[in-house]
Each structure stands twice: as C-alpha cells, then as structure tokens.
A and B are shown apart, each in its own frame.
Chain A
Amino acid sequence: MIEKLIEMCRKEKREAQRQLYEMYDARMFRVVFRYVKEVQEAEDVVLNGFYKVFTHISRFEYRGPDSLEKWIRRIMVNEALMSLRKSRMYLSDESEADKEESVWEADTDLDAEAIYALIRQLPDGYRMVFNLFVIEGFSHAEIAEKLEITEGTSRSQLSKARTQLKEWLTQNDVNNLHAEYGKVH
C-alpha cells in the first residue's frame, strides 16, 4: 500500500501526492513546530518540506514501513533548521560543558501536550539541540555538524535544556501553557 503510494508519487500522480500529504501533514507539522516557534513560519516549512519530498521522492529508497516517515521527518527537520538559520542567529557559541547526562525518571501522569508546549518554550539553542538529540536521536557530533557548532556547545545546550525543563516540570503549572498556540509571537 505505502509502496504503491510512493510509486504513484514518483509518477507525480496528484491524488497519491495528496494522500501522502494527508497521511503525514499533521505529524510533520508537530515535528516542525517543535523547532519553529511561529505558526506561519512552521506552515511554510512544512510546505517547503513536502515540496522537497515530492520532488525528491525518486531518490528515496524504500526500506520497510517506517522508512518513508523517517525520510520525510529528516527533510522536515532540515527545512526547519534552514528556516531558523535564515531568519535569525539562534545560537551563541558557548563552550562551558556541563556534563550532566543523568537520565530522568518518568513522572506519573505526564501530559504529552504539556511537555510539547514546554519544549516549545525553550530558548532557540536549547530547543534545537534538545529536539535533535532527545527526540530525533542525533549524536552530538551530528548536531555539531548540522548546526555548525562544536560538540561541546551541543552538550552544554542540551544540559541547559534539561535543567530548564526539569525546573518547569517541578513548578507543577505545566497545564497553564496550553493556551499559547493561538498566539502569534
């Protein structure tokens, strides 16, 4: 099914492209919106991302059911980073390496939406690195290369992001953050 859809997208069949778009649009918006703060910018990134998906799908190699989503996700993350780079300088090259690598314990009853909102509140640099490392699963070396920073910076940004998130989470008022999506910053 998904392979057929890919096949059809390679042939630039509009209905197939639409189907693929509808399958992944919401999820990809969520990915991009973790990186990009403003709604309109995120929408543009998703659109550019899909344009790249459809124009480069002939190069995509199908390697099992998840491979397409992973590939689309990678494109989206790259687009998001490019967009951020274009729009502003987001990262100061700090090199204080706070080596805290301890893994958090799972709290009970965590609300995914609330955490999502918290991640979006992180300062640009923290957010990039946290997203790339924790959620997308890149290594510090890869992040350093992507963001043109040093590995040390990547580590320190991650550590600060973690500290900040923990602090917010212990403040116990995470639910207050829900309303923020409608606003344009």
Chain B
Amino acid sequence: MEKFIKDQIGNLGSVPPGMKRDREASWSKLEARLAQRKRRRGFVMLLAAASVVPLIIGGVILLRNVPSTDPSQERLEHLSEMIMQDDSAAFYAMNSGTVPDSTLYEIIDPALTDLNGPYKQEDFTTGDLLSNEDGVISYYGYDHTSAQKRGLTNQAPTPAVGASAGTYTVTVTDASAASSGPVVVFSGLTATGTSTATWNFNDGTGSNISSGQSVDLVFTSRRDGNLKGTEAYNYRWTGSDEILKRVEAGNVMLPEGYLSSGKLGGKGEDLYETERQQLDWNEPIPGFFQPENTDPTSGEGYSHFIENAPITASENAFSTFGLDVDVASYSNIRRFISTESQLPPTDAVRIEEMINYFDYNYRKPTGSMPIDMIVENGPCPWNDEAQLVSIGMQAKDVDKTKMPAGNMVFLVDVSGSMEESNKLPLVKSSMKKLVDELRPQDRVAIVVYAGAAGLVLPSTPGSDKAKIISALDNLSAGGSTAGGEGIELAYATALEHFVQDGNNRVILCTDGDFNVGPSSNEELEALITRMREKDVFLSVLGYGTGNYQDAMMEILADKGNGNYAYIDRQEEADRVFGKELTGTLNTIAKDVKLQVEFNPSLVKSYRLVGYENRMLNKEDFENDKIDAGDVGAGHTVTALYEVVLYKSGEQPSTAQAGEKLSHPGADNAPGVFCGELMRVNMRYKKPTGDVSSLMTWAIPLVPLKIEQTTNSFRWAAAVASFGMMLRHSAYLRDMDYATIIKLADSARLPDPDGERKEFIQIVKKAEALANKVTAGSH
C-alpha cells in the first residue's frame, strides 16, 4: 500500500482534476523575476570584465580566466557552448557538402592552447569534433561571428550552385585531430570550383580513412543531374569494398549515367550498372521528385511526386522536413472542383497546403517564443491500426501598427494571357484592397512586364493612395512576356528604397508564364537566392487557369523565402490581401525545420502526411545553410503523422524503457526517452538572422478517443483524408466521402469566414464528380 502511495501519488504530474491553473501567468511572473536578476548581474559582469580577458561572442560575455587542465576538453565544451548560443556565435556544420576553400579549411592542428587570446579563425576549423553517440555524424565548428567581429572577412564558405555530378577527389591531409571517426556527410553539393577538398573523412560505418589517403567520391543527384542545395547523393570511394555509402531510403536516387573517374564535372562511363540494378533503383522512392511532368492536355505544370511511405522507426527514428506555409494547392483544388467541375490532377494535390489553408484554434505563443507547438494524439480515421499525431504550430501575432515598414514592389505580368477576367482585373482589385491597408511608412512600387519591362509606379509612400490607385487603373494587358528584365527592375527598385529591418519584398503576380528570356532558370533562381541573402524576399501570387505553372511558381517563392498563394477568385484575393496580409507578408521566423525523433521502443512505424517536396535529410536539420519554409505572423502550420505503435508483447527485444536519444548536433549529449512518444525539435531563424535557434518538445503518449479530440485535430484529419482521396493514396485503408463529410461536420466550428462550410461543399461536389467518373468508365 505504501509502495503504491510512494510510486503513484508521488509521481502524479497532471493538474488535479477539477482544477484550473494558469501556467502561462506563473511563467510570466517567474520570467520577470529572472529578468530582473539578470540585469543586475550583467552589470557586475561588465565591471569584472576589466580585469580579465573577455571573449565576446555575439554579445554574450564569457569570462575565462581559469586555465584549463585539459584544453581539448574545454575546447569541446566551449564549442558546444557556442553551438548552444541561440543568438550568437555561428556554427557551421561543415557537413553541408560545401566544398570548402582549401586554404580556409585546411586541417591544421587542433590543439588549442590559448583560449584566452583572441580567436583565430582556425580555432574552430581544426577538426573540432562533436561526435554523437551513434557515430554517424560529426561536426566541424567554425567561429564565424567572432572572426567577423575582429574585422576579418566573413569566412563562411561561399556557396556556388550548379556543381555537376561527377567524381571528386577528397584527400585527407590530417586525421589526427579526430578523437573518434570523423565523418563527412555531404547532403547536397552547393559549390563548384575546386576538385580537391580537404576533409577528415570516414564512411560513417566505422572505417577511418587514414591521413593522406586519396578518396574518390562519386556524387549523384536526384533531379536533373545537377546537385543542388538539398539534394541527396550517393558516393563511393576507390579502394573500398563497400559499394555505396549513405544510401538512405527516401532520399536517394541514382541519376542516369553513374559517373566514374574523372575531374569535377567530368562524365564517365557507368561503372556501377550491376550494382544499380541489384539495388533496384527504379523503384519509386517516397518523398522524391521525379522529372517534371507537364500534362499536355491542360498546359498546366505540376511537379510529380510520390507520397511519403511509412518508415520503420527502429531503422530510422528521424523524420526531418521544412515547414510549408503555402496554401496555394487548396485554392487551386477548389478551382478545379467548383469552377471547372473536374477532379484535380493528383500532382496538384499537396495535402499539407490543404491542411494549412485553414485557421486552427491553437494556443498563442507567449514571451519571446515566436512559435508554440500543440500536439494531439488520437485515432487515425483512415487506418484503424494507427494513431494520428497532429503537430500544430502557431506563430506569434504581430500588431499591425507595429509591423515593420513595408517596401513592396509588385511585379505584375501584363502579357496578353493576363487579360482574362480572373487574372489582371483580379490583380488590380486585390491590390486596391492592399492600398487600403497601407500606412504612411509603407511604400509601394509597380513594375510590369510583357514585351518590355517598365516601372509604371515609382516607389510611392502609403499615404499617397490616390497615386497608387490611378497607376493601377491604367494597367492593361498586352504583349509577350519578358520576365527576366522585369524581375531585375523590380529588385533594383526594392533595393533602391531598401528599409533596414523592414519588410522588403517583391511580389510577383502572374499566371505562370514567366519567360526569363535569354537567361536560364538557373540564373533566375540564383538571382532570387542572392536577393534573399540581401533580405529582399519574393512572394508569388498565382492567377488564372489553363496556363498555370504551379511547379515553377512554388520553386520561385521557395528560393525567395516567400509565400506562394493561388488566387482563384475575388474572395481569395480579399483573404490574401486583407486578413492574411499581416502574416503572408510578415515573416516572423524563417527557415523553419522540424525534426521529429520517434521513440523506437514505442513506435513501430510512422508516416508523415504530405510535405513530400519538403523532406530534408537528417543532417540538414543542423545545417543553417539549408533553406526551408518561412512562417508569417499569426500563421498556423500543422503536420500529421500516422503512427503505428507496437502492440504489447510485440516490441523488439532490444528496445528498452530508457531508449537513448540520438539527436545530433545541439542535442548530441546522450539523452534518454522517458516513455514519451517522440521528441519534436524545431529550428528557426529570426527574419534577418543567419543562425538558427533550437526548441525541443517532448511529446507524451496520450491517445484520445475521437470524441475527446479537439475540432482542430478532427478538421485537419478530415482535410488530410480528402487530400488522400484526391491523390488516390495507397495508405487510405478505410475511408469514403461520407465519412470525410461526417468527420468534417463534427469539427466545423469555429468558422467565421465560412471556409469550413465551403470545404464540406467541395467534398460533396468531389464525391459527385468521382461517382460520375466511375459511372462514365463503365
């Protein structure tokens, strides 16, 4: 009895039944007290700093006047400290695949004896090694910020794009710094130039490459033969018996022509044909882009993708992806079903964008937290053997009056194809909506492109509404498209009126025929990327039908850290330009990535619903160079996982209660799962920051019955079910339109704008269309 009391009563952790506690209020009080204390202490530290040598890292003063007995240990600690600084010293996981400038990253010796002295750039490029326990990934740190502070040039590796698949020689000049197997993980090659890179290297499976050994890596990419930022790759090296390394399900595909020896970019014969056949590379790999598929009958372009498949947690406990806050897919689907009375092509259906179209009633973040997370766990409506875990993210709201000043340049397509009533006239009326919302500190300019590009409205303050409206009234369609020139002019106008810390943005309004003229798509993407780095972002608003280039639009907005919306009618224009404006055009966190680690002793398999073209490699999570989705003020984003748990007695014998967490990087100290279902790690950057912060949530297993779940949960589940229906998903075990309608109906409120009601009507219409298709095929 007393043991029962000690164990049970002593470990109660929930709020007592019938009681309400305001934890947020308590935290705010505590936070205020802690903040007060910190201010006082900060003062003392500054005084003390005069007597010792302070190291200044991104505004945090660390006093180090105690000589370390073990410099390498201290260095490691210090490095991990830097990594943990959420707003300070830069950390480069040099596993980004960036081929480094060899002089910069030459592996020099690591022993760092003078921690008190000024940092040398080499200090943190010299084989500093943080190895996580599973021995898969190691990091090299690089004290980027402090180098800059001392007036050195920014020595971050400069990414260049377009390195071809080919064979690269990697020579390890010194592996002596490594205390355990250093690993180079290339998760996408972004650099060109040298064919020789200097790395500490091993294969991730334990065999170190010794000093001076030459390694031939064969990189392959998965899309078009060019390696790009987040592409996966395979490699092999000469002298290794292993066939291929880092072959990761869901990430890798061999390209045509597997390359052999040669210089960088050189092409050779396919040496690995047999191996490739053995590995059955032709099997479709989930989450992976196939070459673009343009439906000849409609002229609309959608990227083909394959639905995410279930992944066995004991094989890969990590699921990593970038957020997608776009909503274009839903309005496009709505247009297909309600306006054109046909079911959309499967590749037009991006389930996460459908889910994220709707507002969810999630708790708002408090304090300095830009995004809060709300997780719910209930039955999976389409698979009775699975649970559905909904991860809801709610971004902070921004007070409209306190929003940063806007410097917006609209780049409007006025080519002949824009003449239709659902295109240019809709652009004009929606922009008038925006003009109403402008404040005096905002500026708007309009650039048009067609035969030639022109500035029809120079950058004008928001107070001069009449001038803006008259310019809008004078817009008319005609001519062919010369988008390249237009976008350059738009960017130039934005830069000319650049507002420091403002919302500097080019907003492209088009039906998708973005003819870049003489320049190639690669150059266009490079331009957008370059401008993004200068904090001028690109948002894309798609209009019209028949000629609509969804794939291209999404890529452009992604590259530009912008949002992408599809405007199919006046109501949607009102929504995007009016209500959604604060969020859509005001990024509060950028490059938001999620890495979920499932507890392999509880979870048998998991499947991420949607986000197929947002999947990242595990190591990309820690790599701040890898671009991901941006979240605007007030946005909600939801991700659903279909999770199959072990039944009792079914657990693998190796699984234990205190399953070790193997999260790399910032969390690379061994942690344990304490019976929770999963850990959700989120990385994000401040809107103009370059270094990401990490937040982690431990998610307990609290499965609710369907009637106990929130409306948000059931709504997201209904929308996902509908999306899977439209995609003819293989994972839809048990679902029909009637069930979707019933589920949606049970979760219909709140619905202030009637969007949920409309969704239900669209499902009903889709059901009728589907029946017609079935009947017609007999």
Contacts and interface: CB of A to CB of B under 8 A. Distances in A.
Interface stretch (B10-18, B64-72, B513-521, B612-620): B10-18
Contacts of A8: 84
B669 interface: yes
B86 A15 contact: yes
A1 B671 contact: yes
A46 B37 CA distance: 18
A162 B378 CA distance: 41
Interface string A99-114: 0000111110010110
A178 B18 CA distance: 8
A183 B663 CA distance: 44
B5 A182 contact: no
B695 interface: yes
Nearest to B3: A106
Interface stretch (A47-55, A88-96, A121-129): A47-55
A67 interface: no
A41 interface: no
A26 interface: yes
B696 interface: yes
- Size class of the contact patch on chain B: 35 or more
Contacts of A55: 34, 37
Contacts of B3: 106
A34 interface: yes
A15 to B, nearest CB: 6
Contact of A13 (B9, B12, B86, B696): B86
A13 B60 CA distance: 11
Given A21-B27, A65-B658, A107 B34 contact: no
A151 interface: no
Interface in A23-77: 23, 25-27, 29-31, 33-34, 39, 43, 46-47, 50-51, 54-55, 65
A3 B15 CA distance: 26
Contacts of A105: 1
A116 interface: yes
A62 B696 CA distance: 20
Contacts of A163: none
B287 to A, nearest CB: 27
Given A55-B37, A134-B5, A137-B6, A181 B27 contact: no
Given A135-B6, A178-B17, A104 B23 contact: no
B222 interface: no
Given A14-B367, A15-B693, A33 B16 contact: yes
Contact of A4 (B16, B23, B27, B666): B666
Given A8-B84, A103-B2, A181 B17 contact: yes
Given A29-B21, A103-B1, A181-B16, A18 B9 contact: no
B18 A182 contact: yes
Given A33-B16, A65-B674, A136-B10, 11 more contacts: A1-B661, A1-B671, A1-B696, A14-B367, A21-B30, A50-B30, A51-B33, A112-B8, A135-B5, A135-B6, A137-B6
11 contacts: A4-B667, A15-B368, A15-B369, A18-B369, A26-B23, A27-B12, A135-B10, A137-B6, A181-B16, A181-B17, A182-B18
Interface of A: 1-4, 7-8, 11-15, 17-19, 21-23, 25-27, 29-31, 33-34, 39, 43, 46-47, 50-51, 54-55, 65, 103-107, 110, 112-113, 115-117, 119, 134-137, 178-179, 181-182
